[in-house]
Amino acid sequence: MEGLGEKVRGKHCDGIAGIIEEGKSVMEEDFDETTLDACLIASGQRAEHYEIAAYGTLVAWAKAMEHTQAVALLEETLEEEKAADEKLTSLAEAGINQEAAEAAHPERDSEEPQPVGRGASRGSVRPATRPVSRSKRS
């Protein structure tokens, strides 16, 4: 940004600060290790998605103002944020989310899969579930 005659400075962002606070509160929960991992991945992805949105917007603005040097730098940073998000997704999909789901509902492991939705006739199945009552929160 210095190439544009602008001084680089940091600024407090309430949005990302809130996402960080959410992540910190997850660490205070009494979760098993796998569930905590899944929740921390989700928290990290929220932060990455926020940053992706911000850098995507900055790239668009820099292009509109024909600041080609800034565009290149911002696009590089945007790609780094996207790569971090993809790494988190691959971790979650490599088994952490499934393990956390099984830890949360161990009784489902022993039940037979039941057909689900419109695709049920084509072999789509999911574990049978029992109705769970949920209390309303005020």
Domain ranges (residues) in the chain: 11-110
Residue 9's pLDDT is 76
Q: What is the pLDDT of residues 66-122, one digit of tens each?
A: 999 999 999 999 999 999 999 999 999 999 999 999 988 887 655 555 554 444 444
Which CATH class name applies to 11-110? mainly alpha
- Token pair, residue 121, equals 């006739």
Q: In whole numbers, what is the pLDDT of the chain averaged over residues?
A: 81
Residue 84's pLDDT is 96
Percentage of the residues of the chain whose pLDDT score is greater than 90: 59
Model confidence at 1, pLDDT cuts 50, 70, 90, reads: low
